Amino acid sequence: MPSFDIVSKVDPQTLDNALNVARKEITTRYDFRDSKTEIDLDKKASIIKVTTENSMRMNAIVDIIITRMAKQGIDAKSLDMSKEEYASGPMIKRELPVKNGIDKESCKKIIKIIKDSGSKVTPAQMDDLIRVTGKKIDDLQEIIGLLRTKDVGVALQFINMK
């Protein structure tokens, strides 16, 4: 029986490349001249740590990061933007956790969307991924197209099409 998996993962090397390009852009921009701006990636915890002098620069840096991630093919939904910036002496810091895996609520939304579509496929939740099986590959491709049009709150990738 044909099947595919729905996952939400970010390739750490691609993310690192996007952040390197963002760092290079910040060093060459005129409005960041003589600023003490840092962008660090904690690969083990999957957290982007940004440090700068004021909130205007912080917003510009976050926009640069999102733009560079999009050019590398990483969806902006994979960043958790809920944490606010906080002061640390004369600097402002912000942590942007990278989401990996699909949480329970998003799994329920995705499974409900698949079941409500009326297609003859069966979704099954397995830890942080969803496996969808069906009798025809056309039905599976229809589900992929449907999920690409819906907003479930997380970046989705479709892998292991068999």
Structural contact between residues 142 and 119, judged by C-beta atoms closer than 8 angstroms: yes
Looking at the structure, tell me whether residues 39 and 88 fall in a common domain. yes
Q: pLDDT tens, position by position, for the chain (162 residues)?
A: 899 999 999 999 999 999 999 999 999 989 888 888 999 999 888 999 999 998 899 999 999 999 999 999 999 889 988 888 888 888 999 999 998 888 888 899 999 999 998 889 999 998 888 999 999 898 899 999 999 998 888 888 898 888
CATH number at residue 144: 3.30.70.860
Domain region containing 141: 3-8+101-159
Same domain, 105 and 50: no
CB 58 within 8 A of CB 65: no
Based on the domain organization, do 73 and 137 belong to the same domain?
no
Residue 81 confidence (pLDDT): 87
pTM assigned to the model: 0.84
CB neighbours of residue 143 within 10 Å: 21
pLDDT value, residue 61:
94
CATH of the domain at 18: 3.30.70.990
pLDDT score recorded for residue 67 = 95
